[in-house]
Chain A
Amino acid sequence: MMSLVMTSYFCGGSSCFHVHACQRAPLLYPSHVPVYIICFYKSFAMADFSSSFDMPSASLSENAEAAELQRLIAVEQQKAQFQAQVHNFTDVCWDKCMDKPSSKLDSRTETCLVSCVERFIDTTLTITNRFTQMVQKGAH
């Protein structure tokens, strides 16, 4: 099932070792800084424990610490990606659903916002599936 976070982790599957890989992030998340920050921290976590000049090789506890750090960072990254999506959806659905700003969010507008999110996701899935089919057909 296609990930609902519409762009995959931009560092590609496993890790991003270099900060300039993280600088490609703005292409995917033009104004969302947290994902960029997480990539930086991830590459820091990877680099720190694999390229230290003082120690001949990373000890077991350092590897465990690095793994734990990566896991924690991955959790934060997921949260940040979720919030980036919420920002995008709110942006789009605000234009669709809000007329004049009033003193309270009435139920009609709230229903519209919820539907907007659902239909936007459905649209994304529809486009992805159909595009996949088109590409597969084109491959013959």
Chain B
Amino acid sequence: MDSFGSDFSSGSSSGKMDTGTIMEQVKVQIAVANAQELLQRMTDKCFKKCIGKPGSTLDNSEQKCIAMCMDRYMDAWNTVSRAYNSRLQRERARI
């Protein structure tokens, strides 16, 4: 796992880091990690769906399949995200 980013010592004598700067770094790193997770799972699913017997190259049909699969995976991700969100809101309303 690569480093968490910049070194935490600030230039100031107090040694504190600005809250805003820290939160910016947190958000960026989370976004990057989220994208990595998405790509990893997407690659796994689309490889399984689109590549039958692995040949010496990715032929045209396989490439088209991968492109479609990526779009469908992201659509599915968004659908699941909305469904989960509404379920959470429903459950919170019950409490």
Contact = CB atoms under 8 A, between A and B. Distances in A.
**A and B part of one assembly:** yes
A82 interface: yes
Nearest to A80: B30
Interface of A: 1, 4, 31-34, 37-38, 40-41, 44-45, 48, 52, 54, 62, 65, 68-69, 72-73, 76, 79-80, 82-87, 89-91, 93-94, 97-98, 100-103, 105, 109-110, 113-114, 116-118, 121
Contacts of A37: 4, 26, 29-30, 33
A34 B26 CA distance: 9
B82 to A, nearest CB: 8
B91 interface: yes
Q: Which of B19, B36, B41, B79 has the most CB of A within 10 A?
A: B79
Contacts, number: 123
Contacts of B37: 31-34, 83-84, 87
A93 B76 contact: yes
B79 A118 contact: no
Contact of B41 (A68, A79, A91): A91
Contacts of B23: 69, 72-73, 76
Contacts of B50: 101
Nearest to A89: B80
A69 B22 contact: yes
A101 B15 contact: no
Given A94-B45, A102-B68, A83 B34 contact: yes
A120 to B, nearest CB: 9
Q: Which 7 A-B pairs have the closest CB atoms?
A: A33-B33, A117-B83, A105-B75, A101-B69, A34-B30, A114-B83, A101-B68
Contact of A113 (B29, B33, B69, B76): B76
6 contacts: A48-B16, A82-B84, A90-B73, A98-B76, A113-B79, A121-B87
